[in-house]
Structure 1
């Protein structure tokens, strides 16, 4: 038996439909192109009614924001049919968004993360808390202008995996070292490299978080360049090569050469 009431269909002015950016996907360049394409090739035979929920502010789109925006942009479209479902709270609407998009190929891990956080998902909220304390900023997508700030990242899966392996406190230390080392952006490879240095028996006695950060500051962009050369020469993963490069620069004096 259905747990919620059956949906109802009604006609709505697309210009009045609301989008909650807290869990909805941001409009990337690709999204804008899709909206323009839908608008330019508007065909009612291919139309799928957006799924909406009634809120105190009005009808909020849960699924189908591109269609809604395209309809709003089309001069000949004044009203569209929408499917209205029960989702009184923001958490319910975010959960519904995740349900609609989890198996779609076009939703990114970052978009899913922000939706999960809005829905109150414990793992997503832990990721946000660890990042905030470490000075890391999770972005919804790569910057359109290609300019990253120190601590920016889209490596949500890598951060989540790090927390699962090491716990929140140790994960924060790894991320803090990267921020102090002025990483921009923080990549999955960097996260794996620093995790290895601080926790692997081969390195952890000879280098600490400050040593990692100082090595990154001293090497700058050369760290990634040297790692790429080392990886190609020794046929090893780039993250492993980066760990070795940083270790050689940041290890405590008087210790083994490694």
Structure 2
């Protein structure tokens, strides 16, 4: 366990601090909590979706105190935490822990803006790291797939100079591939990339924008991946030329005002096009079927061309 102290330099301390009233921590009845609609947000469908999610996974260990301020009538206006409060009520709880700070209404509105406007975003790397420490299945599964493919799913970001082939920094994109593709073909695709020259020695291949369309395409053709000649064919595939050609087509379409699909879609389609040319599908024929050599070649040609 790595434990870090709260450390700071004296130079970081403001010249003067006016902290206002000290907060009081107390359990309050949910029935005594109110929402001041003059500054609080409305609850739209997406807010109710978030509330239902909190309720479905409700744990006090994940419940931070609701930030409130006393108002007339013995009530308390919620500054921050109305989603949590609604979720607790749905779960049947009558009280929630609260941080109570006496404030005038204009101070409440300012506090609401400060709490909800100055937020430190949590990155996917940080979420993955926390989920792995908690043993959450989605994180463990993604890490196991990466490891089985001879790769590493990274829990922190790195500079382009320090990144190495096989290190997967695009956590969000990789999770999308894990959710969309079977485990076996995905592991096979990662192993193939790690075994192929031009892919196992080029960190640019492992950038999120390139790697994810490549994985999405490779995992759509498991039969090709299983072909003994696949690694050699992949080494000869000029993915950068495909990307350059796509860029030219994209610019040409954009110049005339036409929409062009996202790079993730067109690059995936480009890899699939190469795959289907390099390893055309072969349809098994019934044992009783008798075809001439020319008929057989013509049949295979139609399959390979998509006819």
TM-score normalised over the length of structure 2: 0.44
Match of 1:225 in 2: 244
1:168 to 155, 163, 183: 183
Match of 2:304 in 1: 256
How much has 1:106 moved relative to structure 2? 1.6
In the TM superposition, structure 1's runs of 4+ consecutive aligned residues that sit over 6 Å from their partners are 35-38
Match of 2:29 in 1: none
* Secondary structure at the counterpart of residue 256 of structure 1: helix
How much has 1:256 moved relative to structure 2? 2.9
TM-score normalised over the length of structure 1: 0.51
Q: Larger Rg: 1 or 2?
A: 2
How much has 1:128 moved relative to structure 2? 0.8
How has the CA–CA distance of structure 1 residues 215 and 243 changed in structure 2, closer, same or farther, with 3 Å as cutoff? farther
- CA–CA distance in structure 1, aligned partners of residues 137 and 171 of structure 2: 14
Show structure 2 runs of 5+ residues with no match.
Answer: 20-59, 65-115, 254-259, 281-300
Q: Deviations over 1:195-216 (max 9, x none)?
A: 23532xxxx3884366488436
Match of 1:148 in 2: 163
- CA–CA distance in structure 2, aligned partners of residues 43 and 173 of structure 1: 60
Larger RCO, structure (CA 8 Å, separation 6 or more): 1
Match of 1:109 in 2: 124
How has the CA–CA distance of structure 1 residues 137 and 227 changed in structure 2, closer, same or farther, with 3 Å as cutoff? farther
2:3 to 18, 22, 26: 18
- CA–CA distance in structure 2, aligned partners of residues 206 and 257 of structure 1: 17
Question: 1:120-159 to 2 correspondence within 5 Å?
Answer: 120-144=135-159, 146-159=161-174
Kindly indicate whether the alpha-carbon contact (under 8 Å) linking 2:186 and 2:219 is maintained by their aligned counterparts in 1.
no
- CA–CA distance in structure 1, aligned partners of residues 193 and 162 of structure 2: 18
How much has 1:137 moved relative to structure 2? 1.7
How has the CA–CA distance of structure 1 residues 205 and 108 changed in structure 2, closer, same or farther, with 3 Å as cutoff? closer
Question: 1:50-69 to 2 correspondence within 5 Å?
Answer: none
1:39 and 2:9 correspond: no
RMSD (CA atoms): 4.2
- How many residues in Structure 1 have an aligned counterpart in Structure 2? 175
How much has 1:111 moved relative to structure 2? 0.9
How much has 1:143 moved relative to structure 2? 1.8
How much has 1:219 moved relative to structure 2? 1.7
- CA–CA distance in structure 1, aligned partners of residues 136 and 246 of structure 2: 36
